Chain A
Amino acid sequence: MTTTVSAPDVAPSDAEPSPPRKRRRRPSLPYLLLVPAIVLELAVHVLPMLTGVWMSLRELTQFQIRDWSSAPFVGLDNYRVTLDFNSAIGKELLHSFWVTIAYTVLVVGLAWVIGLAAAVVLQRPFRGRALLRTLFLTPYALPVYTAVITWSFLLQRDTGALNHVLVDQLGLVDDRPFWLIGGNSFWSLVLVSVWRCWPFAFLCLMAGLQSVPQDLYEAAYMDGAGFWRRLRAVTLPMLRPVNQVLLLVLFLWTFNDFNTPYVLFGKGAPDEADLISIHIYESSFVTWNFGLGSAMSVALLLFLSVVSGLYLFLTRKARSDA
């Protein structure tokens, strides 16, 4: 799981301290220090991405894979097949795109709301606060597969805890529902994902809240502002820089999530929970059509770039307008 929260200031706000004289004589040193990082990023991120674009323009199935550099050039054919939403392949891709959008919106929204509630509620000191804070971070620290496997056990039809409570203990449902196949699987996926994600929102929002000056609350309180008013007028505006980055990061993670569905459902996610990364994985490694898989990947990347770019543009604009 990779995370980013926010940029440290790119330009220092105070006047630039003049660098010690020694450094001025070696302007090449900072570049030298960056070389290992840049080489690795190029090798593992940029080069494969370019290769991916190249692959998306070839006919690359299991027959060409041994000698993939000579795979026939097909131009934009893969894209045409992938993005033709009347064909079976395009229809399935579009379906999993919408599933992913719904999944992302729900997970990000819920994780953010729960994380905010927890951060706000833990703002005031009380006995046991440190313990709860630690407890709440545990789902984030757990390796994803152990967390998700445990959930898949809870959600088993015959031996799981959820059906035990719903059917045996509360008697709310007669038939034991399936949670990992069929329509319920989407909601199971959302539930598990929220469980894993909200602590990260909590962590960031808690960090953000630490910088809100207490006098702001005191002043609002003196002015007679109640809890909701203080939340709206003090907390949320102060959290805006954190929220802008946090929401983007949560969106990208959730949208690209592969681990949760892969571990929860094993090979072959149910249709109702067929997230786009699983879909691409299956199109590539199960049906061995790498050319089509690459075209889907590139299309996905373009979509994410446009969304992120637009988001950054709008939030930056909102910030400079404010």
Chain B
Amino acid sequence: MRETAAERWSRRVILTLLSAFVLIPLYVMLTTALKPLRDVRDSFTWIPARPTFEAFVDMWSTVPLGRYLVNSLIVSTAAAVLSVAIAILAAYATSRWRFRGRSVFLASALSTQMFPGILFLLPLFLIYVNIGNATGIELYASRTGLVITYLTFSLPFSIWMLVGYFDAIPRELDEAAAVDGAGPMRILFRVLLPTAVPGILAVTVYAFMTAWGEVLFASVMTDENTRTVAVGLSGYSTQYDVYWNQIMAASLVVSVPVVAAFLFLQKYFVAGLTAGAVK
């Protein structure tokens, strides 16, 4: 099937436009981080006249970025690891057994995705405050509360992706292991988990990203000590000045590791989507 000249040229035009669309904000993020504040304040320039790393140094003291980063790391890692662990169990059950209520479980897990976060925010806020008053277990404004909340956000999607990966693993492998005398949990750990490692990693990164990027709950359910980066970045705008160069520098520091991990694992992500979506 030959490509016509018109097709080739439209392809080039589309790809150029899209690349520019994607790249311009990324370019501005990078170059602004390399400008001194007085250059950002006056007017926009495409090329930094006096490139400097000063923003990358100052950003740590303008705002307690280090503390916010630690909070984000703890909360996101805990939420990702727990959510994937719980999803693995649920996905194993859903992939390997036909039990009563199986499709109801899948459908209702998914339907939670349709609710706006704002719907849970007020009641959860009150529930957390009440649990704190009644039992002394601090959930409101604590990292634990955020972890519990975030892990349920990524849980349904993690379950669905993992069911896709597990379904792709031939049952003959399970059966062979069963013949060798392996029980169900042994089959999970010895057969399914090792085979699905790339998929599990992709889902973990997804769960991490969900928590890392969450704004709504982070803005209501944290205090000065537990604040995450998602909210912390707003600290760079004061009523006197907006430290755009530091905001961009901090944004880069916050984004680069997540983006790199995602892009590195993206082909497993696509594989998971295909497994789920096309069958």
B114 at the interface (CB under 8 A from A): yes
B178 lies within 8 A of A280 (CB):
no
Task: Report which of A2, A44, A140 forms a contact with B113, defined as CB distance below 8 A.
Answer: A2
Which of A72-80, A87-95, A113-121, A181-189 is the interface stretch? A113-121
Which size bracket describes the interface of A in this complex? 35 or more
Complex interface residues of chain A between 191 and 233 (CB less than 8 A to chain B)? 195, 203-204, 206-208, 210-211, 217-218, 221, 227
> Which of B22, B25, B29, B130 has its CB near the most chain A CB atoms (within 10 A)?
B25
B74 at the interface (CB under 8 A from A): no
* Count, chain B residues at interface, CB 8 A: 121
B273 at the interface (CB under 8 A from A): yes
User: Which residues of chain A are near B106, meaning CB under 8 Å?
Assistant: 7, 10
> With the chains together, A267 CA to B97 CA distance in Å?
49
User: Which residues of chain A are near B199, meaning CB under 8 Å?
Assistant: none
A124 lies within 8 A of B258 (CB):
no
- Closest chain-B Cβ to A306's Cβ sits at a distance in Å of 11
User: Which residues of chain A are near B119, meaning CB under 8 Å?
Assistant: 48-49, 52, 297-298, 300-301
B215 at the interface (CB under 8 A from A): yes
B160 lies within 8 A of A7 (CB):
yes
User: Which residues of chain B are near A137, meaning CB under 8 Å?
Assistant: 262-263, 266
Complex interface residues of chain A between 1 and 20 (CB less than 8 A to chain B)? 1-10, 13, 16-17, 19-20
Complex interface residues of chain B between 156 and 173 (CB less than 8 A to chain A)? 156-157, 159-160, 163-164, 167, 171
> With the chains together, A306 CA to B102 CA distance in Å?
23
A256 lies within 8 A of B99 (CB):
no
> With the chains together, A38 CA to B108 CA distance in Å?
10
B109 lies within 8 A of A49 (CB):
no
User: Which residues of chain B are near A121, meaning CB under 8 Å?
Assistant: 10-11, 14-15
A195 lies within 8 A of B21 (CB):
yes
B114 lies within 8 A of A211 (CB):
no
A8 lies within 8 A of B276 (CB):
yes
Which of A101-109, A257-265, A314-322 is the interface stretch? A257-265
User: Which residues of chain B are near A2, meaning CB under 8 Å?
Assistant: 113, 153-154, 156-157, 210
B270 at the interface (CB under 8 A from A): yes
> With the chains together, A245 CA to B110 CA distance in Å?
12
B191-222 vs A, CB cutoff 8 Å, 1 = contact: the mask equals: 00000000000000010011011011001100
Complex interface residues of chain B between 225 and 279 (CB less than 8 A to chain A)? 229-230, 233-234, 237, 244, 247-248, 251-252, 254-255, 258-259, 262-263, 266, 269-271, 273-279
A144 lies within 8 A of B213 (CB):
yes
A134 lies within 8 A of B213 (CB):
no
> With the chains together, A159 CA to B117 CA distance in Å?
34
In the A-B complex, the 4 residue pairs with the closest CB atoms: A256-B116, A51-B123, A146-B251, A48-B123
A–B Cβ pairs within 8 angstroms, 21 of them? A3-B113, A23-B96, A34-B105, A36-B86, A41-B112, A44-B124, A48-B127, A49-B119, A137-B263, A141-B262, A143-B209, A146-B254, A159-B42, A161-B28, A204-B273, A255-B116, A259-B213, A262-B215, A301-B115, A301-B119, A304-B114
